[in-house]
Amino acid sequence: MKKHWCVFLIINLLPVVIYAQNEFYSIGSTISTGIKLVDGGDIGNSRFCQVKKGDEVIKYSPFEVKEFGFKDGRIYLSKDIQISDSVQKVFLEQLVIGHTKLYYYRGKNLRMFFIEKDSTLLVELPKRNEDGDIGFRDNLQNITSDCQNVNEAVKFVGYNKKHLTELITRYNKCIYKPYPFFKYGMSLGYETTRLVPSPGIKNEYISQLDFTYTGGVTIGFFADIPVSLSNFSLHTELYYSKHGFSYNQLIGNKDIDFVANISSLKLPVLIRYVYPNLLNKIRPFINAGGIAGYNFKKNGSIYEATITQTKVEINDVLETTLIDKNQIGYAVGGGIEFKLNNRNHLFFELRYNKLYCSSNSVSMNNSEFHFITGINF
């Protein structure tokens, strides 16, 4: 019995191994391997199988060659399809294999996808319906209706090879996996900021002041762009923040006061990774990247009050370079994303920002903790 199983596996797996390691083409029942194919691109490969023999390139039509494949795994099959009012024999690129197969045809000014479900007839998946509206998602809704895990992702799919290949591959396995899509929305937050003197500041009082964290509300917008349908995305924001600082220190017979006000626009650009399949509606994430700050309103002053037995003398020392207009730095954070429905998600995040003066080594840096909540539209 074991011998029969070994023979069965060898017979069935040997062609797969051959195809995976070599370029090939088949005419009738004859398979030619170890040959060199010429890649004609999507359009060229849809018309001909091109085999290089020495210095000569031989072109085979879909009437001659049944199937051919490249080393990178792309496989083309000869099929009859309807183009306009005629039936034509062409080569279709096989994008997905399984109980539901997906094929792609590329002609001049024409691209078409075809579905073959449970070995039934080849059915075109047109981008637009008879009324001219984009209707391929309606067809996909019907095709995937027996798998709810995938059906809800159809509304985010684009009419291209990458998106449709990902969807049909998931459908064949019928597994739940959140489908990445472009998100944009609004965020609110609470930001605590501490001024950090840069090493270049030589003011005798600055080093003796205790700079503690000061809080303020933030408001802004964000965009989250998936990276190649993966769990990574490019997450960027633009938000407004306003902070007022007041510090006091008694040094000998001098009372030192530091006062500053800053209104800023901040632009973090982050790479975000969202953990997949943890829970259906809750997904943790982490992100990190750079941040730029533009302090469009800023002022900072140091007041020195000398106290004697007979009088109090106050000197106003204005340090125009204490707050730099432009800052750059880094940001790291993590949080949780809650799925409200198929399209809307609510997220909470704790992030740390470190901003450095970009043009003046004698300005103040910023150390920040940012508590953020946001929802996409």
Can you tell me which residue has the tokens 């198929």?
342
* Class of domain 183-245+261-296+323-376 as given by CATH: mainly beta
Confidence (pLDDT) at 280: 72
Rounded to 5 degrees, what angle do the CA atoms 45, 46, 48 make?
Answer: 60
**pLDDT tens sequence across 20-79:** 568 999 998 899 998 999 999 999 999 999 999 989 999 999 999 999 999 999 999 999
Residue 227 has pLDDT above 90, yes or no: yes
**pLDDT tens sequence across 306-326:** 766 555 555 655 555 688 899
Residue 347 has pLDDT above 90, yes or no: yes
% of the chain residues with pLDDT over 70 = 88
277-306 core/surface letters (b: 16 or more CB in 10 A; e: else): eeeeeebebebbbebebebeebebebbeee
Long-range contacts of range 370-373, CB-CB < 8 Å, 24 or more positions apart?
370/189, 370/190, 370/191, 370/192, 370/218, 370/333, 371/189, 371/190, 371/191, 372/187, 372/188, 372/189, 372/218, 372/335, 372/347, 372/348, 373/187, 373/188, 373/189, 373/346, 373/347, 373/348, 373/349
% of the chain residues with pLDDT over 90 = 63
Average pLDDT, the chain: 87
Confidence (pLDDT) at 254: 77
Confidence (pLDDT) at 21: 60
Among 206, 377, 366, 195, smallest CA distance to 291 is for: 366
Confidence (pLDDT) at 299: 83
- How many residues does this entry show for the chain? 377
Count the Cβ atoms, other than its own, within 10 Å of residue 227.
13
Q: Are 66 and 78 in contact (CB under 8 A)?
A: yes
Residue 203 vs residue 196, higher pLDDT: 196
Confidence (pLDDT) at 10: 46
Tokens of 240: 């407004």
Can you tell me which residue has the tokens 């062609």?
15
Instruction: Classify strands 49-53 and 56-60 as parallel, antiparallel or unpaired.
Output: antiparallel
**pLDDT tens sequence across 235-278:** 999 999 999 998 888 877 778 888 889 999 999 999 999 998 66
- Which segments of the chain belong to CATH 2.40.160.20? 183-245+261-296+323-376
Q: How far is CA 197 from the centre of its chain?
A: 36
Residue 294 has pLDDT above 60, yes or no: yes
Q: Name the pLDDT band for 203 (thresholds 50, 70, 90).
A: confident
Backbone angles phi, psi at 15, to 5 degrees: -60, -35
In sequence order, what DSSP letters do the residues of 305-350 get, joined into one string? EEE-SS-EEEEEEE-TTSS-SEEEEEEEEEEEEEE-SSS-EEEEEE
Confidence (pLDDT) at 11: 45
Residue 353 has pLDDT above 70, yes or no: yes
Rounded average pLDDT over 110-134: 85
181-212 core/surface letters (b: 16 or more CB in 10 A; e: else): bebebebebebebbbebbeebeeebbeebebe
Distances (CA, A) of 81 to 62, 65, 86, 90, 91: 12, 16, 8, 7, 10
Residue 12 has pLDDT above 50, yes or no: no
